[in-house]
Structure 1
């Protein structure tokens, strides 16, 4: 007979014997009771201390437990090879993370007397430097009614009446002008309000503004960029109503600035009568 067959037969017999084995618990308990009864008899009290009696009882109990344990182990060993083995995965108990605690944060320790804390002061608001003004070309100061190739004159239109008037500015230029600004100032003598304005040059070449400022009704004509004024004589006129009666134009004035051949020009004047004019000498200043 092969060794494997002998091993299988022996295993089968052990398995059968283990299944039929039943420990006689009654006999074991009876022996324990008899042992305890002998310890309490009077004829043994003088010869054996009680302590040793309890030792025997404990020893006997341990022996019974060993017998039962050995019997169970034998049965388990007999059937161990026949039963399918199972592997149980266990998870180790996780260790608590230091960051998962619910303790309140510990306040930082106060610095020692010898240490000094650095205190940062907020930087002051930076001073904003005002940008320097871009230098602009200043208009030339007019000295009179004529400046180089530019000549001017101011007069009240002869068709004016007791309720309405027109102030005319006449300009003559012997050179082409690449820039020109004409300003008429009519003093507020009472009831002065604009009723319109015109010029002998093309209307689309100029921008006109009308406003009341510092006691004057002001008309301003400005030549548009890229436009030019040809050589010749040109008129700029402002029309307005006024209170009934003759109106004194002594405080009215005008200015004109322009550019010819890269040179800046400026003229100014008033509306008083000049010698040789047809107007009466009452308007002379």
Structure 2
């Protein structure tokens, strides 16, 4: 086929272009159709968050439903005798039923041994008869007799005391009753008191004014008891003193007879 000259090709194209008339109605119809059709990609992306929200709501509904069902769970049906023609129900395999079943005895099975708790340990108090500038000692007075006794606590200080509190206890052994108290500190400088508790008498001496120079001071408690020798091992004492901004505390017990 012979090739047409370039000038003839151009005239042919111009002729075809002039001969072609676009159909305006067809073009408008296509535009309207494209505008009314949904874009697939836009709707796919817009539905994803809606689906996610629906999933969350469904999870919450299931959770609340589970809680409600657990609270509305009916009481377990009690055991009843089988009616005529019914088979006896199979034994329950629940943990409660298994726990009620008697233990089977077999070879080598040992019966549980009841273990008793160990007896409470005896605690021996740790006394502190000496502390800093303060030292102490306790003894039953030698003038004590069969139904009357006196316990003496002696405090010795190497510093000037500005505050002092002394407590002496007498255990309530047979027929123990309070019978008096005294101290070598002048009466106008100290207050004394005695109280009764369930298991002991409590004597108290308190320095209310003045100061105590370095030296020794005696605090005596008197009591009556059943006729015979009494063991004072459960009688105790304690003292707290202040001197020059320092504090010292001593504790102790009367020696056993």
TM-score w.r.t. structure 2 length? 0.50
TM-score w.r.t. structure 1 length? 0.45
